[in-house]
Amino acid sequence: MTQPKTILRALAGEPLPTPPIWMMRQAGRYLPEYKATRAEAGDFLSLCYNSDLATEVTLQPIRRYGFDAAIMFADILLVPQALGADLWFVTGEGPRLSTISDESDFAKLGGADDIHDTLAPIYQTLRNLRGALPHETTLIGFAGAPWTVATYMIAGRGTPDQGPAHALKAAHPDVFDALIQRLTDATIEYLSSQIDAGAEVIKLFDSWAGSLKGDDFDRYAIAPAARIIAALKQRHSDTPIIAFPRGAGERYAGFAQATGADCVAFDDAVSAEWVAEKVQPDGCVQGNLKSSHMVTGGEKLVRETRRIVEALRNGPHIFNLGHGITPDADPANVQLMIDTVRGA
Ligand code: CP3
């Protein structure tokens, strides 16, 4: 039977004449309708946990642009909160969490099976979306990868170099390894429940993978992703998985084979031509357009978009940005990117 959804066809390895397209952070502050719903919710976390409003903001970019996929509206830091960490967002700055610096902080966390009460609204958002999305639109669920989530849990906030996480790894390797283990287990339970609730594709965001070097990359980027993917494939063999080890550089090559991911998402620090040669032979790829083009637009946006489509046209490809769209982006530039991809 032929699969009608273009994203699922690409993820199954089919090169398509026009790559399907969606965009990281497609529901976000660059859209006036998002800002209105977020104001109605009160704050960001209330929006994440309000299934009706989270459904609404997930649908907004689908209505406006007709993207080929919808990514459920939530955040990677809900898992730490479900494990018992304190979490809040400071407007204009970003997330804040209680910190983990030793065994006693780790001991306060709940178990991997204790997360579902907190996360029940997220599963409800997915059930809502399966009923509300156009039939051709693929529904993506997601989680943060253990290393990236650990960097926020250890430091209590975003950090430029993930220094506190690297320091805990050196000073208390047993605590650090136990945290990675707990997050790996919780992520398996969370993603498995997302698939039960209707997610058709899973994306694993390892936004800070680039600061793991050498053996650390194998131990903390590849190994947890491989464990999560193996466990999900055992329970849900038909659900494709996109892995995004942002900043992996040369380590993007071989990542799909080492982890079992069906698709590797890549940032804008490597070229689409290099990815076509070194990564795409192993399966579907996604990413690359610099988010800044969504701010600046014009001829350069059109040229770069065409270049990426051209470079990856002989293999399975999902068009996307190299990282999330920023709040200062112009919604008209998003339309220009889509028109360029679909008209190219
Ligand atoms: O549209 C989508 O992409 C789906 C929703 C989504 C959000 N966060 C909503 C969000 C997804 C997939 C994420 C993932 C996420 N969250 C990541 C991994 C991807 C990446 O960007 O590297 C990370 C590291 C986080 C943690 C996080 N959440 C930070 C550091 C911040 C503050 C920075 C910022 O962009 O404001 C957030 C907040 C956040 N998550 C917003 C949104 C729409 C902005 C909050 C607001 O509306 O004020």
The reply to whether ligand 1 has any atom less than 6 angstroms from the CB of 28 is yes
Query: How far does the centroid of ligand 1 lie from the alpha carbon of residue 25, in Å?
Result: 7
How many other CB atoms are found less than 10 A from the CB of residue 329?
A: 24
pLDDT recorded at residue 76? 98
Write the CB contacts of 212 (distance below 8 Å, at least 6 apart in sequence): 147, 220, 221
Residue owning the nearest CA to atom 10 of ligand 1:
75
Which one-letter amino acid corresponds to residue 2?
Answer: T
**71 CA closest ligand 1 atom index:** 4
Number of Cα atoms under 13 Å in the Cβ half of residue 105:
19
Number of helices (H), then strands (E), in the chain: 17, 9
Token pair, residue 281, equals 């032979």
Q: What is the pLDDT of residues 243-276, one digit of tens each?
A: 999 999 999 999 999 999 999 999 999 999 999 9
- Cα distance between residue 20 and residue 9, in whole Å: 9
Length of the chain: 344
Angle at 127 between CA 182 and CA 187, to 5 degrees: 10
How many other CB atoms are found less than 10 A from the CB of residue 1?
A: 3
Question: Does residue 274 contact residue 250 with C-beta atoms inside 8 Å?
Answer: no
Query: How far does the centroid of ligand 1 lie from the alpha carbon of residue 314, in Å?
Result: 32
pLDDT recorded at residue 314? 97
Return the residue matching tokens 């799909």: 256
Which domains, ranges and CATH numbers included, belong to the chain? 6-341 (3.20.20.210)
- Cα distance between residue 66 and residue 69, in whole Å: 8
Token pair, residue 130, equals 């399966």
Closest alpha carbon to 49 in 84, 74, 70, 79: 74
Query: How far does the centroid of ligand 1 lie from the alpha carbon of residue 344, in Å?
Result: 30
Residue owning the nearest CA to atom 13 of ligand 1:
75
The reply to whether ligand 1 has any atom less than 6 angstroms from the CB of 283 is no
Residue owning the nearest CA to atom 41 of ligand 1:
28
φ and ψ at 323, to 5 degrees?
Answer: -160, -175
Write the CB contacts of 276 (distance below 8 Å, at least 6 apart in sequence): 285, 311, 312, 314, 315
What is the set of active-site residues? 25, 29, 38, 75, 152
The reply to whether ligand 1 has any atom less than 6 angstroms from the CB of 147 is no
The reply to whether ligand 1 has any atom less than 6 angstroms from the CB of 142 is yes
The reply to whether ligand 1 has any atom less than 6 angstroms from the CB of 205 is yes
Q: What is the pLDDT of residues 175-201, one digit of tens each?
A: 999 999 999 999 999 999 999 999 999
Q: What is the pLDDT of residues 64-116, one digit of tens each?
A: 999 999 999 999 999 999 999 999 999 889 999 999 999 999 999 999 999 99
pLDDT at 130 > cutoff 60: yes
Dump strand ranges (E) for the chain: 69-71, 87-90, 94-97, 138-144, 201-206, 241-245, 263-266, 284-289, 317-321
pLDDT at 140 > cutoff 80: yes
Pocket perturbation via mutation, ligand 1, pick of 75, 242, 323 by most ligand atoms within 8 A of CB: 75
The reply to whether ligand 1 has any atom less than 6 angstroms from the CB of 322 is no
pLDDT at 323 > cutoff 60: yes
Which one-letter amino acid corresponds to residue 344?
Answer: A
- Cα distance between residue 212 and residue 230, in whole Å: 22
Of the chain, the percentage scoring pLDDT greater than 70 comes to 99
Query: How far does the centroid of ligand 1 lie from the alpha carbon of residue 107, in Å?
Result: 27
Average the pLDDT over 137-146 and give the result: 98
The reply to whether ligand 1 has any atom less than 6 angstroms from the CB of 44 is yes
**57 CA closest ligand 1 atom index:** 1
Question: Does residue 284 contact residue 303 with C-beta atoms inside 8 Å?
Answer: no
The reply to whether ligand 1 has any atom less than 6 angstroms from the CB of 227 is no
Q: What is the pLDDT of residues 29-78, one digit of tens each?
A: 999 999 999 999 999 999 999 999 999 999 999 999 999 999 999 999 99
Task: Say how far residue 201 (Cα) sits from the centre of its chain.
Answer: 11
Closest alpha carbon to 205 in 150, 275, 269, 136: 150
